[in-house]
Amino acid sequence: MNVSTLDWALVILYFVFALGIGLYYSRRASGSIVEYFTSGRSLPWWVAGTSMVATTFAADTPLAVTELVANHGIAGNWLWWNMLMSGLLTVFLFSRLWRRAEVITDVEFTELRYSGKPAAFLRGFRALYLAIPINLIVMGWVTLAMVKIIELSIGVDKWIAVGITMAVVLLYSTMSGLWGVVMTDMLQFIIAMVGSIALAYFAIDAVGGIDGLKTGLIDIYGPDHGLLDFMPDIGSVWMPMTAFFVYLAVNWWAAWYPGAEPGGGGYIAQRMFAAKDEKHSFLATLWFNVAHYALRPWPWILVALVSIVLYPDLEDKQTGYILVMLNVLPVGFKGLLLASFAAAFMSTISTQLNWGSSYLVNDFYKRFINKDASDSHYVMIARLSTVVLVILSAFVTSQMDTIAGAWKFLLAIGAGTGSVYILRWFWWRINAWSEISAMVMSFITAISLQTIFGMDTSDANVFAQVMLITVGASTIVWLSVTFLTAPESEEVLLKFYRKVRPGGNFWKPISELAPEVKTDKGLSWDLADWAAGLVMIYSTLFGVGKILLGHSLLGIGLLILAAFAFSFIRWDLNRRGWKSISE
């Protein structure tokens, strides 16, 4: 790649700004672990929501989308578009509840909802499990993608380049905690989006516009290629009926996966804890889902379509995105794209570091090792643990061969736990043993199916079977364990009920003991808003796509439908006491 002085200047300028933000917020983050991990619970919705969006835009994301489009067309994105259903459940059912909990991590929630040694064990185990193996796998595959980008794009040793980038992340994330993470996320999101849109513009121009793209696809793949279809060919090899059923009816609520946890969790929950209040928590998660699913995918998809026209015989389809970047961008824009990839990489890594450190400090060190230290001591431990996570992630990256393999591994071992994470909010009978048994059974079943029985999840049908068997086995076990073990004490349940105020009829034995508590009575209306949210975001996604691909009338019609769905949500929330959901 011919990188000019101007290109390098843009990249260096970005790094300087990122470090400057970290330095600016370092003093503020040093006050306490509430400041360090949740920004003092003072973030406005647009900052918290944009930080969520930036975090989910990693260096590997456009490469993964390119591979999906190259293999299965636009409809291949349903492999992740289906997760919108889980994301909107978080918006309408859980975002306000998480904010009311006023915890620092979603793992701390364990000892708010449960009690005794089982709850303590669950908190400690999940803290270490999420902070170390799960977190390191995520950071490993994100870093692996960045290594691939650097290897193909610039004449700099890949490990030196990644090392410099990680050093900058380490500096601002350790100095400024979540304050530095979310504020640099704002900058990183803007740079990443501008870079993606610019690349899409030049890529489409390189093949003669949208009409040239369509002609190129027909010339190479024939008139019936189906690459521009928005819905998958149900019953095809890559999307058999069983797999389609699992994606649309099971996966999004039953499987735990980082960033798309049923009931909310992880770094998404962390941003909800950091929001100013319940309303800002709600709006942050709503904006995240709109931007993540409806607006951001199209620049990636367009570049992916161009890549399969320009490079139809590529063995590694992911590299098509990088090759388009190398060959179509003029001077200056190459630096912008390199900065955007660095921004995408850094926003994800900085969040993973801060998030992982929050578990190690708040839920393990402070809870089990040193309960009575000063705030400054815990902030120091947080910074040290961040450094340790960076060192460990470098080792994991060096041992990791495949991004896709790590993704499928995480999704499979989390299958079957989602229903517990949802119902623990709305059913008083769930206890700590319910969660423990669900996690253990999901892990044992998924690993056994893939290792002992040789079920290869790279096959769509087999993947669906693994998911269904794991979900079924896990559900039977955790339900049995729930009824065979004692419920949480009345005292613990009442404390949780009064603090979080969950709605629904499954808290009746507890709600009768606390008639003074005003809960969210409208769960059925929340579900109606959830359905309207699905219409709003999917209509926006497909409407924007239709307009970009030259079907303007249909696209405008879909956007009008999205506006009606939004109006329904706004009307319902105002009717229930929200003067304006945009205030």
Written as one string, the DSSP assignment of 302-343 is: HHHHHHHHH-TT-SSTTHHHHHHHHHHPPTTHHHHHHHHHHH
Percent of the chain at pLDDT exceeding 90: 51
**pLDDT bucket at 583, cuts 50 / 70 / 90:** very low
pLDDT, mean over the chain:
88
CA distance 364 to 164: 30
The average pLDDT across 169-198 equals 85
Name the residue with tokens 């009311």.
100
| pLDDT confidence of residue 400 | 64
Q: What angle do CA 165, 256, 277 make, to 5 degrees?
A: 75
Distance between terminal CA atoms of the chain?
46
pLDDT band at 406 (very low <50, low <70, confident <90, very high): low
DSSP single-letter state for residue 261? -
Average pLDDT over residues 142-161: 73
Q: Is the pLDDT of residue 154 over 90?
A: no
Encode pLDDT of 217-264 as tens digits.
Answer: 999 999 989 999 999 888 887 888 888 898 888 888 988 777 778 888
DSSP code per residue over 79-146:
HHHTTHHHHHHIIIIIHHHHHHH--SSTTTTHHHH--HHHHHHHHHHHHHHIIIIIHHHHHHHHHHHH
Structure-token pair, residue 401: 């061969």
Confidence label for 112 from pLDDT (cuts 50, 70 and 90): very high
Q: What is the average pLDDT across 74-82? A: 92
Tokens of 159: 């490990």
Q: pLDDT tens digit string along 315-326? A: 889 889 989 988
pLDDT at residue 472 in the model: 94
Q: Is 575 exposed, middle or buried (0-12, 13-18, 19+ CB in 10 A)?
A: exposed
Indicate whether 138 pLDDT > 50.
yes
Confidence grade of residue 582 (pLDDT, cut at 50, 70, 90): very low
Give the pLDDT of residue 413: 65
| HSE toward the beta carbon, residue 324, CA cutoff 13 A | 35
**pLDDT on residue 408:** 58
Summarised one tens digit per residue, pLDDT across range 41-66 is 999 999 999 999 998 887 778 988 99
Length of the chain: 583
Cα–Cα distance between 208 and 451 in angstroms, integer? 49
Region 306-313 average pLDDT: 95
Eight-state DSSP code of residue 501: -
347-367 confidence digits (pLDDT tens): 888 888 999 999 999 999 999
The predicted pLDDT at position 412 comes to: 62
Q: Reply yes or no on whether the pLDDT at 338 is more than 70.
A: yes
Architecture of domain 5-413: Up-down Bundle (1.20)
Q: What is the pLDDT of residue 27?
A: 73
Q: Write out pLDDT tens, residues 458-504.
A: 788 888 898 899 999 999 999 999 999 999 999 999 999 999 999 88
Residue 165 has pLDDT above 80, yes or no: no
Angle at 167 between CA 166 and CA 171, to 5 degrees: 115
